[in-house]
C-alpha cells in the first residue's frame, strides 16, 4: 500500500525517501539489464525509473510489441520483473510523450502521418516547428488510448498494491514545454473554438476583443492579435491552457484507471530550467498547476538541469523547491523526477565536467527542504537502437543523439562506471543512512516567506510582433520571483533565514508574517489587494523592483502604490556614461555606496527614506500602513545579507539560524519531526574549507563549537535524534549507519582535530579522528 499523507510517502505504513535512478531498458541489450540494475543497487538506490517509449514498441505496420516477440528488449514486463527480483521498486513513465532525446519526443511517425490535424498552428497560422500536438485533439487521444491498451495491461498486475514493484506512474512528460521554448501556442481550429468558449465564460458581455468567438475572423484575431487586445489575449490564453492541460491529464488518468492502473501515485513532471538557469522554472509550475495541485492521487516532480552546484544554482534550487511546495496541498510532498546526475558531458566532447560533489550537494539541499523522492537522470547510459523504418534523417536511430546516449551519466553507455559514479553512490548511501528520521521531517521556517505570483510566470506565449505582449513579458521576466539577480532569496539564505513561499493568487500570507516579493510594473489586482490587506492587518512587506502600476492585462492598477502613498517616477538606467549609485539612509546605514543598473525615483506621502541616489533622489522607503509596514526598494539592489538583515530586523524579524563564517558559500537549515527530533543541515558549496559556528534561536549550538566544514561537502548533523535506543542531543558528524549490534557509525567529524563531539543522553563523548563508532 502506498499513501501520500502529511507531505510524506508512506509505503506499507512506513515513511520513505525513494532514491531512484533512470535506466532505459530500450537502450541496453537485454543480456546486460542485470548488470545495470546491479550497479544501481550497489549505489544504494532502492528504485529504478524508466521511460516506456511508444515509438520503440510500435512497429511500422502499427502493431505494438510489449512482450519481446520482435526484439527481446521490448519485453518491458521482463525488465520490471528483473528489477523486482533485485529488490528494486519501479517508477513507470509510459508517456504518451516522453522526450528523452527521442525523435518525435517518443510518438511514432505514423501518428503524425495519419493525423496531420493534430499538429498545431502557432502565431499567424504558421505550423509549429516542434513535435508537439494539440493534446486534446480527438485523434491524438484515440491513438494514446490505443497505446495505453497495449502497455497498461503490462503495468497493472505489477503495481505495488497488488504485490508488484511499481510505486508510481508518470502521465506524459513536460507537458507544455515544447510550446513554451518555441513560443508556439497550440492554435488548432479545435483549440481556438474551445478558447472562444472560455473567453465568453470569463468575460461575458465585456469581451476585450473586437471580434466575438464564433464570428468570422475569430481565429485570425487570436492567431494574429491587434495591439488593442493583445494584453488581454496573452493573459486569457495562459489561463485557458492551464485548464486544457488539466483536462488532458485527467483524460490520461482516466485511461489508466479504466485499464486497471490505480492505487499508486500519478506523477507530473515539471520542466522549466533553461541553460543552467532555474529562474524560469515556475513557468512549468504555472502551466501545470491545475493538473496536480490539490488533486488527490497526484504528485508533481521537478525536472531540473542546473549544472554545477554553485551559490547561484543552489539559490535557484532552493527557490524552485519552495515554489513547488507553495502550490501543493497539505498532503503532497516534494519529489524530483529528473534530478540531473553525472559529469555534464552530454555531447561526449569533454566540453563540460561538473565537480563530482554536485549531485550530492543538490540532493542534500532537496532533502532538507522535504523532497521524498529523487530520480537521478540519467543514471545509466546506453545505445540508441535503429528505427524499424527508414526516415532518411542522417542516423536512422530512435534518438537524435546518435549511437551512444547518456555519456554524462554515472554509468556510461557501455555499462562502465563513470566519473561521477562513486560520488553519487556516497550521496545516496548517506541519504539511506538518515532515512529513518529524514523521511518524517519537514524544514523549519522563520516568519518570512517569498511571495509566489504564479501568473507572473505566464509568459510562455507572446506574439513576436506585439509590442504590448513583449513589454509585459520583458517586465515580468526581469523582476519576478526572487527578484532581479535573485537578490531576495540569496540574501536570505546567506543571512541564515529559513523560508518557504506563499502562492499569493490563492492564499493569504500567514497573519503577522513578512512577505518578500520581487515585482515590476505589472502585478495583478488580486495580489495587490491581498498585499494591502496583509500589511494593513499587521503583516510586513519587502518589495524589490519597480512599483506596480498595471494589472497583468495591461490596464492601470495602482492599488498597492495608492495604499502606500507612493507615486512611481522616472526609471534611471546606467549607460556607458552614467552610473547610478545607491546611498543608504536611516536603518540601512552604514552601507557602502553601491552602483545599480537602474533605480526608480519615488514620491512618497509618508514614511522614512532608506535609499537615495547620490543626488538625493529617493528610491527606497519604509512606509507604515495600518498595523504593518512596507519597505519598498525600487532599485537593482545586489545580494547583500547585511542590508536585508537590517531591513528585516527593523521589522522585528530575526533569522532562526546565525552562521558565523569567513565568506559566502556556506548556508544551513534545520528540519524537525512532529515528535521534536531535529537535524542541522550544513552545506559548504565553496571550493575552500570553512570554519562555522552556528546559533539556533539565539543559543549557540554545542556551546559555540566551531565546525570545520570541508569544501564541496554537506552534512546532516543530529540535533536531538532518537537512534538505536539513545538520544543524540548533538553530534559534529553525520550518522553513517547503525549496525546489527546497535552501534552507531559516523562519518568523519567536523571538530578542529578531525574528531567528533557527541552529546548522548546528556553526556558528552569525544571520538578521536578515525574513531567513528558509538557503542552502547
Residue 669's φ and ψ, nearest 5 degrees, are -155, 175
Q: Rounded to whole angstroms, how far apart are CA atoms 276 and 329?
A: 29
Mention every residue, 6+ apart, whose C-beta is less than 8 A from residue 47. Answer: 18, 19, 20, 21, 88, 89, 90, 91, 167, 375
Set out the domains of the chain in order of their start, with CATH numbers. 2-183+260-439 (3.20.20.80), 448-650 (3.40.50.880), 657-774 (no CATH)
Task: Place 663 in a pLDDT band, splitting at 50, 70 and 90.
Answer: confident
Task: Place 762 in a pLDDT band, splitting at 50, 70 and 90.
Answer: confident
- Reference 444, options 673, 666, 652, 718; nearest CA is 673
What beta strand segments (E) does 175-314 contain? 266-270, 298-304
What distance separates the 2 farthest-apart alpha carbons in the chain?
A: 83
- Stretch 451-465: mean pLDDT, rounded? 96
Model pLDDT, residue 754 = 82
- Reference 362, options 351, 374, 353; nearest CA is 374
Model pLDDT, residue 703 = 75
Task: Place 772 in a pLDDT band, splitting at 50, 70 and 90.
Answer: low
Packing angle, helices 358-368 and 311-327, rounded to 10: 30
Strand partners, 692: 707
pLDDT per position as a tens digit, 492-503: 999 999 999 999
23: three-class secondary structure by DSSP: strand
pLDDT per position as a tens digit, 685-726: 999 999 999 999 989 987 788 999 999 999 999 999 999 999
Q: Rounded to whole angstroms, how far apart are CA atoms 343 and 355?
A: 7
In contact, 115 and 137? CB cutoff 8 Å? yes
Q: Peptide bond before 96: cis, by omega within 30 degrees of 0?
A: yes
pLDDT per position as a tens digit, 213-238: 999 999 999 999 999 999 999 999 99
Q: How far is CA 606 from the centre of its chain?
A: 40
The answer to whether residue 195 scores a pLDDT higher than 80 is yes
**pTM for the structure as a whole:** 0.97
Model pLDDT, residue 775 = 56
The whole-chain average pLDDT of the chain stands at 95
- Stretch 77-104: mean pLDDT, rounded? 97
The answer to whether residue 456 scores a pLDDT higher than 70 is yes
Mention every residue, 6+ apart, whose C-beta is less than 8 A from residue 85. Answer: none
Task: Place 679 in a pLDDT band, splitting at 50, 70 and 90.
Answer: very high
SS (H, E, C) 484-523: HHHHHHHHHHHCCCCCEEEECCCCCCCCCCEEEEEECCEC
Model pLDDT, residue 511 = 96
User: Could you tell me which residue, 129 or 248, shows the higher pLDDT?
Assistant: 248
- The CB density around residue 537, as the number of other CB atoms within 10 Å, is 14
Task: Place 302 in a pLDDT band, splitting at 50, 70 and 90.
Answer: very high
- How many residues are there in the chain? 776
The answer to whether residue 776 scores a pLDDT higher than 60 is no
The answer to whether residue 76 scores a pLDDT higher than 90 is yes
pLDDT per position as a tens digit, 149-179: 999 999 999 999 999 999 999 999 999 999 9
The answer to whether residue 774 scores a pLDDT higher than 80 is no
Residue percentage of the chain with pLDDT more than 70: 99
Tell me the C-alpha to C-alpha distance, in Å, between residue 516 and each of 397, 405, 459, 543, 647.
50, 43, 22, 6, 11
Model pLDDT, residue 753 = 82
Task: Place 761 in a pLDDT band, splitting at 50, 70 and 90.
Answer: confident
Q: Rounded to whole angstroms, how far apart are CA atoms 187 and 195?
A: 9
Model pLDDT, residue 460 = 95
- The CB density around residue 741, as the number of other CB atoms within 10 Å, is 9
Residue 93's φ and ψ, nearest 5 degrees, are -130, 80
The answer to whether residue 580 scores a pLDDT higher than 80 is yes
Strand partners, 739: none
Model pLDDT, residue 757 = 87
User: Could you tell me which residue, 757 or 623, shows the higher pLDDT?
Assistant: 623
In contact, 563 and 628? CB cutoff 8 Å? no
The answer to whether residue 334 scores a pLDDT higher than 90 is yes
Residue percentage of the chain with pLDDT more than 90: 92
Packing angle, helices 467-479 and 227-258, rounded to 10: 60
Amino acid at each position: 500500500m502506498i499513501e501520500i499523507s502529511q507531505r510524506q510517502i508512506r509505503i506499507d505504513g512506513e515513511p520513505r525517501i525513494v532514491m531512484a535512478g533512470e535506466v532505459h531498458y530500450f537502450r541496453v541489450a537485454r543480456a546486460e539489464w542485470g548488470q545495470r540494475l546491479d550497479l544501481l543497487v550497489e549505489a544504494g538506490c532502492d528504485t529504478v525509473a524508466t521511460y516506456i517509449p511508444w515509438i520503440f514498441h510500435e512497429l511500422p505496420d502499427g502493431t505494438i510489441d510489449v512482450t519481446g516477440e520482435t526484439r527481446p528488449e521490448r519485453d518491458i514486463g521482463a525488465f520490471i520483473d528483473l528489477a523486482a527480483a533485485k529488490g528494486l521498486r519501479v517508477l513507470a513513465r509510459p508517456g504518451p510523450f516522453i522526450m528523452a532525446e527521442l525523435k518525435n519526443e517518443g510518438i511514432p511517425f505514423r501518428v503524425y502521418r495519419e493525423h496531420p490535424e493534430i499538429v498545431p498552428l502557432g502565431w499567424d497560422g504558421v505550423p509549429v516547428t516542434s513535435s508537439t500536438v494539440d493534446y486534446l485533439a480527438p485523434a491524438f487521444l484515440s491513438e494514446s488510448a490505443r497505446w495505453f491498451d497495449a502497455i497498461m495491461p503490462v503495468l497493472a498486475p505489477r503495481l505495488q498494491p497488488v504485490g508488484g514493484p511499481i510505486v508510481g506512474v508518470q502521465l506524459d512528460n513536460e507537458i507544455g514545454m515544447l510550446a513554451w521554448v518555441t513560443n508556439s501556442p497550440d492554435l488548432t481550429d479545435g483549440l481556438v473554438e474551445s478558447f472562444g468558449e472560455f473567453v465568453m465564460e470569463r468575460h461575458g458581455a465585456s469581451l476585450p476583443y473586437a471580434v466575438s468567438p464564433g464570428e468570422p475572423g475569430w481565429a485570425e484575431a487570436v492567431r494574429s492579435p491587434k495591439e488593442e487586445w493583445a494584453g488581454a489575449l496573452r493573459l486569457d490564453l495562459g489561463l485557458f491552457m492551464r485548464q486544457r492541460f488539466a483536462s488532458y491529464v485527467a483524460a490520461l488518468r482516466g485511461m489508466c484507471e479504466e485499464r486497471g492502473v490505480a492505487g499508486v501515485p500519478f506523477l507530473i513532471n515539471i520542466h522549466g530550467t533553461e541553460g543552467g538557469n532555474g529562474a524560469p522554472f515556475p513557468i512549468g509550475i504555472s502551466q501545470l498547476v491545475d493538473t496536480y495541485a490539490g488533486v488527490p492521487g497526484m504528485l508533481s516532480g521537478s525536472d531540473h538541469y542546473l549544472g554545477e552546484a554553485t551559490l547561484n544554482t543552489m539559490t535557484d534550487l532552493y527557490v524552485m523547491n519552495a515554489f513547488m511546495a507553495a502550490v501543493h496541498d497539505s498532503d503532497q510532498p516534494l519529489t524530483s523526477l529528473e534530478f540531473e546526475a553525472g559529469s555534464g558531458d552530454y555531447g561526449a566532447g569533454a566540453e563540460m565536467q561538473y565537480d563530482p560533489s554536485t549531485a550530492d550537494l543538490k540532493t542534500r539541499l532537496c532533502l532538507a527542504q522535504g523532497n521524498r523522492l529523487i530520480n537521478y537522470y540519467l543514471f545509466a547510459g546506453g545505445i540508441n537502437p535503429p528505427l524499424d523504418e527508414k526516415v532518411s534523417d542522417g542516423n536512422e536511430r530512435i534518438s537524435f543523439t546518435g549511437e551512444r546516449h547518456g555519456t554524462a551519466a554515472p554509468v556510461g553507455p557501455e555499462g562502465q562506471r563513470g566519473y561521477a559514479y562513486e560520488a553519487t553512490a556516497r550521496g545516496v548511501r548517506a541519504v539511506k543512512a538518515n532515512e529513518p528520521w529524514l523521511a518524517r521531517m519537514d524544514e523549519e521556517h522563520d516568519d518570512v516567506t517569498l511571495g509566489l505570483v504564479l501568473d507572473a510566470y505566464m509568459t510562455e506565449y507572446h506574439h513576436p510582433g506585439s509590442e504590448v505582449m513583449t513589454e509585459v513579458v520583458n517586465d515580468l521576466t526581469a523582476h519576478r520571483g526572487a527578484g532581479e539577480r535573485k537578490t531576495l532569496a540569496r540574501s536570505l539564505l546567506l543571512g541564515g533565514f529559513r523560508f518557504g513561499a506563499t502562492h499569493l493568487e490563492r492564499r493569504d500570507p500567514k497573519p503577522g508574517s513578512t512577505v518578500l516579493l520581487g515585482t515590476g510594473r505589472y502585478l495583478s489586482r488580486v495580489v495587490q489587494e491581498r498585499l494591502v490587506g496583509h500589511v494593513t492587518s499587521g503583516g510586513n512587506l519587502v518589495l524589490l523592483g519597480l512599483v506596480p502600476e498595471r494589472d497583468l492585462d495591461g490596464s492601470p492598477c495602482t492599488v498597492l502604490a495608492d495604499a502606500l502613498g507612493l507615486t512611481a517616477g522616472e526609471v534611471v538606467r546606467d549607460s556607458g556614461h552614467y552610473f547610478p549609485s545607491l546611498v543608504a539612509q536611516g536603518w540601512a546605514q552604514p552601507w557602502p555606496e553601491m552602483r545599480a543598473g537602474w533605480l526608480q525615483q519615488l514620491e512618497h506621502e509618508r514614511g522614512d527614506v532608506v535609499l537615495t541616489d547620490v543626488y538625493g533622489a529617493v528610491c527606497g522607503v519604509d512606509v507604515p500602513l495600518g498595523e504593518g509596514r512596507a519597505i519598498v526598494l525600487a532599485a537593482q539592489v545586489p545580494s547583500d545579507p547585511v542590508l536585508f538583515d537590517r531591513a528585516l530586523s527593523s521589522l522585528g524579524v530575526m533569522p532562526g539560524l546565525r552562521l558565523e563564517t569567513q565568506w559566502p558559500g556556506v548556508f544551513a537549515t534545520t528540519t524537525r519531526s512532529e515528535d521534536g527530533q531535529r537535524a542541522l543541515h550544513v552545506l559548504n558549496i565553496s571550493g575552500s574549507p570553512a570554519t562555522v559556528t552556528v546559533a539556533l534561536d539565539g543559543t549557540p549550538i554545542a556551546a559555540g563549537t566551531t565546525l570545520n566544514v570541508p569544501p564541496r561537502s554537506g552534512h546532516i548533523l543530529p540535533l536531538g535524534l532518537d537512534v538505536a535506543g539513545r538520544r543524540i542531543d548533538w553530534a559534529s558528524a553525520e550518522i553513517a549507519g547503525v549496525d546489527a549490534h546497535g552501534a552507531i557509525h559516523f562519518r568523519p567529524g567536523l571538530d578542529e582535530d578531525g574528531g567528533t563531539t557527541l552529546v548522548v543522553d546528556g553526556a558528552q563523548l569525544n571520538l578521536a579522528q578515525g574513531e567513528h563508532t558509538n557503542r552502547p
